[in-house]
Amino acid sequence: MPLLWTRRALGAALFGLGITAAAASGQTPNAPALRAVRATRTPAPPVIDGRLNEEAWALAPAAADFTQRDPDEGRPATERTEVRVLYDDTAVYIGTRMFDGEPQRIDRRLSPRDSDPDADRLTVYLDPMRDRLTGAIFRVSASNVQQDAVLHNDSWWDTTWDGVWQSQVSVDDQGWSAEVRIPLSQLRFATSEHQTWGINVERFVRRKNEYSWLEMVPKNQNGMASRMLDLTGLDGMRPRRNLELLPYVAGRVEMVDPASSGNPFNDGTRPFGAAGLDLKWGLTSNLTVSATVNRTSGRWRSIRLS
């Protein structure tokens, strides 16, 4: 008997296939998006002081539907969080308000940069290329301890990267807030008049051991870049070439022949010194020249493309 498809049955089948494909790619059908707003001279870009009191922040829509991953997976976050995004020709600005019913219990433990502060903190995940595989991670604690990393292969972190960015936090009787300024020179993105990036935000409340996400990834699933929301409204942005120079000096001492009582210049040691320069030059959004020159030898020691 031939199989006949009605218009309604065919539509239902195609809809089902669409849901399956979206689930396989880690995307939620009709997933919400966060819209960024350009900060022009009027109102001016925000001052990075940890207080979201500039007029520009009031013009940016807030995303606030955070979901717990721990301890009660799938339930709404117990404390409200609001995220806003601004941008201009030089940087992206992330403004976050973390409300807290017990602000006196916000954990503000200090720690070195790029180490786990074990305190209340906020983490911003960005995928400027929107390739659902790569990105950058920026974390700031309630005491303004910074941590950053490069995201690759969807969910792998590389913490050896040290980005150049600004952050500041403030605490008041309603909770705490954070302002982050990320220069465009620290991000890789394509040249396009209208951009769509990926974004996700995670909040950790230490005293509750609560992790809540703007777009929550279930514990039995994986993926990070592929799970981000769309960040829209990024118009007229241009990648900026980045040049980083890191000079260094090094010294060492070698133990040589035993000291000679008859030779005042031989004390049994021989010192050495060297100086050099590490260089990183971003030629395009996906091509960076990395080089090292050693002044001791006077020639390039290594050069590589990445």
Domain ranges of the chain: 30-235, 243-305
Tens digits of residue pLDDT in 92-116: 999 999 999 999 999 999 999 988 8
Average pLDDT of 121-133?
96
Residue 250 has pLDDT above 60, yes or no: yes
| pTM score, whole prediction | 0.74
Question: Six-digit token pair at 28?
Answer: 């939620």
Instruction: Quickly count: other Cβ atoms within 10 Å of residue 8's Cβ.
Output: 8
* pLDDT > 90: percent of the chain: 55
pLDDT at 261: 62
Helix, coil or strand: residue 244: strand
pLDDT of residue 19: 36
Q: Which two tokens stand for residue 177?
A: 């807030």
- The pLDDT score that the predictor gives to residue 66 is 97
Could you give the CA distance from residue 221 to residue 292 in angstroms, rounded to a whole number?
41
Residues forming a β-bridge with 201: 124
- Please tell me the distance from the alpha carbon of residue 145 to that of residue 304, in angstroms, as a whole number: 32
> Span 167-189, mean pLDDT?
95
Cα separation, 8 vs 10, whole angstroms: 5
> What pLDDT score does 295 carry?
60
Are 120 and 175 in contact by the 8 Å Cβ rule? The answer is no
CB 187 within 8 A of CB 92: yes
Q: 30-235: which CATH topology?
A: Immunoglobulin-like (2.60.40)
Mean pLDDT of the chain: 81
Q: Which pLDDT score, from 0 to 100, does residue 51 have?
A: 94
Per the listing, tokens 């404390």 go with: 79
What are 252-305's pLDDT values in tens digits? Answer: 766 666 656 666 666 667 676 777 766 565 555 555 555 666 665 445 555 444
Structure tokens at 132: 């659902």
Question: Which backbone phi and psi does 82 adopt, to 5 degrees?
Answer: -120, 130
For residue 75, give the amino acid letter: R
Angle at Cα 74 formed by Cα 120 and Cα 129, nearest 5°?
70
Rounded to whole angstroms, how far apart are CA atoms 20 and 30? 13
At 11 the pLDDT is 42
Calpha distance 110→28 (Å, rounded): 38
In the predicted structure, residue 199 carries a pLDDT above the cut 90: yes
pLDDT at residue 73, rounded to an integer = 96
Confidence (pLDDT) at 116: 84
Q: Does residue 87 surpass a pLDDT of 60?
A: yes
pLDDT band at 48 (very low <50, low <70, confident <90, very high): very high
**Region 212-229 average pLDDT:** 92
Q: Rounded to an integer, what distance in angstroms lies between the CA atom of residue 300 and that of residue 231? A: 42
pLDDT at 30: 47
